[in-house]
Chain A
Amino acid sequence: EVQVVESGGGLVQPGGSLRLSCEGSGFTFSRYAMSWVRLAPGKGPESVAAISGSGGITHLADSVKGRFTLSRDNSKNIVYLQMSRLRVDDTAVYYCAKGQLSGSGSRPDYWGQGALVTVS
């Protein structure tokens, strides 16, 4: 069974940092892209970052470029979203998603349960 599980959410002050982790299981992790989507209160989904299966290609939304970085450790089946210089408007539930294919733009087909990040 495919599973995607986020961890690392919490409360942080503006300007602070936080690292989200996402562990995948039930599939060959290195063959699939992974991405992060956030849902802010009262807003629609925003794709924040995506990384190819090999980890060689990453893409970040303009709203987080220069502040967030994305990496993966295929030996541990984990993808990391390092968030720095956090702002109040980064407050959201962050979902990790497995891609349908290995390319970074691959449509998500499995989602985690979400990790709440509150910047206040």
Chain B
Amino acid sequence: DIQMTQSPSTLSASVGDRVTITCRASQNINTWLAWYQQRPGKAPKLLISEASNLESGVPSRFSGSGSGTEFTLTISSLQPDDFVTYYCQQYNSDLYTFGQGTKLEIK
């Protein structure tokens, strides 16, 4: 299985801050990486696919980059609604796998 390692696990920040979350794959996954936002009790919401493609309706403050084994999710100016949990997901294998998540907390 391809292992996905996210960092940090928790990130404290303020409204308006620029933050970056990193995801590392245990092997090359090209750009077969997605980023999700998850709210308690809800299914994950897709933000970005193929490492950098912003999904329709997702605010432009979200952006993704990377390829191979190193990826980042950047939120350019945090809004109050953004303080939830984010996951990366690889889909370069027979069974996609998720990172362990990054929880954004208000500083």
Chain A contacts to B: CB under 8 angstroms? 35, 37, 44-47, 49-50, 57, 59-62, 93, 95, 103-109, 111-114
Contacts and interface: CB of A to CB of B under 8 A. Distances in A.
Contacts, number: 57
A109 B32 CA distance: 14
B96 A95 contact: no
Main secondary structure of the interface of B (DSSP, over half): loop
Contact of B94 (A45, A59, A109): A59
A51 to B, nearest CB: 10
Interface in B10-58: 32, 34, 36, 38, 41, 43-44, 46, 49
A44 B96 contact: no
A32 to B, nearest CB: 14
A32 B6 CA distance: 29
Nearest to B102: A44
A105 B34 CA distance: 13
A117 to B, nearest CB: 15
29 contacts: A35-B96, A44-B99, A44-B100, A45-B44, A45-B87, A45-B98, A47-B95, A47-B96, A50-B96, A57-B94, A59-B95, A61-B95, A103-B94, A104-B94, A104-B95, A105-B94, A105-B95, A105-B96, A106-B91, A106-B96, A107-B32, A107-B34, A107-B49, A107-B89, A107-B91, A107-B96, A111-B44, A112-B43, A114-B43
B98 A47 contact: yes
Interface string B69-107: 000000000000000010101011111111111000000
Interface of B: 1, 32, 34, 36, 38, 41, 43-44, 46, 49, 85, 87, 89, 91-101
A39 B101 CA distance: 12
B52 to A, nearest CB: 14
A105 B99 contact: no
A46 B44 CA distance: 11
